[in-house]
């Protein structure tokens, strides 16, 4: 990892600078929301996070805060930097594999996009009372994946245990990290497929097993906590949609339609996707790239796998909400959207070979990053 950061020092630092520019107004013009005012004035320990099943935040607050009170600028700055660090770790786990290494330009776009989606980071970072904890959760998730990738050959049991602990910890900060881990596993498989790696299914089985074990452990711990102190109930009441609609099929349809709505930045009944045009253009570009690769791949088995991995990458950020049968997703719930989009950008810029089309992709990608930076600063 240290050598990786040295080798790609320029794109890593440039992308960090871009990320700080995106959050420039946010970091230098702090405002307090109604929820934040409540936390700043708190003078006793609250069980709110435990009631919501987010005991990881409660754990961090014990060490980082007094009664959950946050330090405005410090929390915001650290949340931006730590989130970005998670992107660097993800890039190392995904792209630095044996003799295959990422190129500088695709890596820059991956890191810059990962840390600049206003629909997601813009919304989640606005909650200063827990944005630092959210970023720590993303870093824990990325390190967990890194440990698993680095342990594929050594098969050290301690590494597996540590990876599971980190994953449970990230889930305990925000349940949405289940989607993030599923997304990075799909991204690992797709990038490995493009490099014609062997035994991808075995690796997928390992990653999936770790994920399932971590989910079971998280819910077991949460069930114990709920049994002792109770539950807020709003998660089950507001975000499980199977019995809210007229039929289960309608609930499933709406949950799947939500994938299309967000992925293409579609406005429905005044429900907008802030900065959705960027998300939509990247999705469309990825589909065009995928179709061009689909016809170029041989034999048919590889075409089928490419189609499967490509569709899975687009859908992975929503997997938890499809399982819950809900379409009620806000940007702060879709933490895997930046990762999926960043991987899509990386794939396009890495595997488009013709000079003209590659340069065109770089120009369009640069404009999309500009839009993200503009929208992020205008959001606050």
User: Among the ranges 32-46, 221-235, 327-341, 353-367, which has the highest mean pLDDT value?
Assistant: 353-367
Q: What is the pLDDT of residue 324?
A: 86
Least-confidence region, from 189-198, 233-242, 306-315: 233-242
Confidence of residue 365 (pLDDT cuts 50, 70, 90): very high
Least-confidence region, from 102-116, 185-199, 201-215, 290-304: 290-304
CA distances from 127 to 32, 34, 72, 377 (A): 9, 10, 10, 16
Under DSSP, is residue 229 helix (H, G, I), strand (E, B) or coil? Answer: helix
Task: Return the sign of the alpha-carbon dihedral for residues 329, 111, 141, 310.
Answer: positive
Tell me which residue of 86, 89, 76 sits closest to 115, measured CA to CA. Answer: 86
pTM: 0.93
Q: What is the pLDDT of residue 66?
A: 79
**Domain locations along the chain:** 2-379
Q: What are phi and psi of 326, to 5 degrees?
A: -125, 150
Under DSSP, is residue 47 helix (H, G, I), strand (E, B) or coil? Answer: coil
Q: What are phi and psi of 267, to 5 degrees?
A: -90, 125
Exposure pattern of 166-197 as b/e (b: 16+ CB <10 Å)? bbbbbbbbbbbbbbbbbbbbbbbbbbbbbeee
What is the rounded CA–CA span in Å between residue 190 and residue 204?
A: 11
């Amino acid at each position: 990892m240290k050598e990786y950061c040295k080798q790609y020092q320029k794109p890593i630092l440039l992308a960090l600078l871009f990320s700080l520019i995106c959050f420039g107004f946010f970091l230098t013009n702090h405002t307090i929301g109604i929820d934040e005012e409540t936390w700043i004035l708190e003078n006793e320990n609250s069980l709110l996070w435990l009631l919501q099943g987010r005991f990881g935040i409660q754990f961090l607050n014990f060490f980082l805060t007094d009664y959950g009170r946050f330090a405005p600028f410090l929390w915001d700055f650290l949340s931006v930097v730590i989130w970005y660090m998670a992107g660097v770790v993800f890039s190392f786990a995904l792209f630095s594999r044996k003799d295959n290494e990422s190129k500088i330009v695709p890596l820059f776009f991956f890191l810059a996009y990962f840390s600049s989606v206003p629909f997601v980071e813009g919304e989640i970072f606005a909650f200063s009372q827990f944005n630092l904890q959210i970023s720590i959760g993303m870093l824990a998730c990325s390190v967990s994946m890194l440990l698993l990738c680095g342990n594929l050959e050594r098969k050290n049991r301690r590494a597996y245990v540590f990876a599971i602990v980190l994953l449970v910890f990230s889930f305990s900060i925000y349940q949405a990290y289940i989607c993030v881990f599923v997304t990075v596993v799909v991204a690992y498989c797709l990038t490995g497929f493009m490099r014609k790696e062997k035994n991808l299914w075995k690796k997928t089985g390992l990653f999936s097993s770790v994920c399932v074990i971590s989910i079971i452990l998280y819910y077991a711990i949460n069930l114990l906590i709920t049994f002792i102190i109770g539950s807020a109930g709003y998660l089950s009441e507001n975000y499980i949609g199977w019995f809210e609609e007229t039929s289960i099929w309608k609930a499933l349809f709406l949950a799947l339609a939500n994938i299309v709505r967000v992925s293409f930045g579609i406005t429905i009944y005044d429900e907008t996707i802030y900065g959705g045009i960027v998300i939509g253009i990247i999705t469309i570009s990825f589909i065009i790239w995928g179709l061009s690769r689909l016809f170029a791949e041989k034999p048919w088995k590889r075409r089928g796998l490419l189609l499967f991995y490509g569709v899975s990458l687009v859908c992975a950020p929503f997997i938890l909400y499809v399982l819950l049968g809900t379409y009620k997703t806000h940007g702060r719930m879709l933490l895997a959207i930046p990762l999926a989009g960043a991987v899509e950008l990386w794939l396009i810029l890495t595997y488009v070979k013709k000079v003209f089309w590659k340069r065109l992709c770089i120009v369009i990608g640069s404009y999309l990053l500009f839009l993200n930076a503009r929208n992020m600063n205008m959001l606050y």
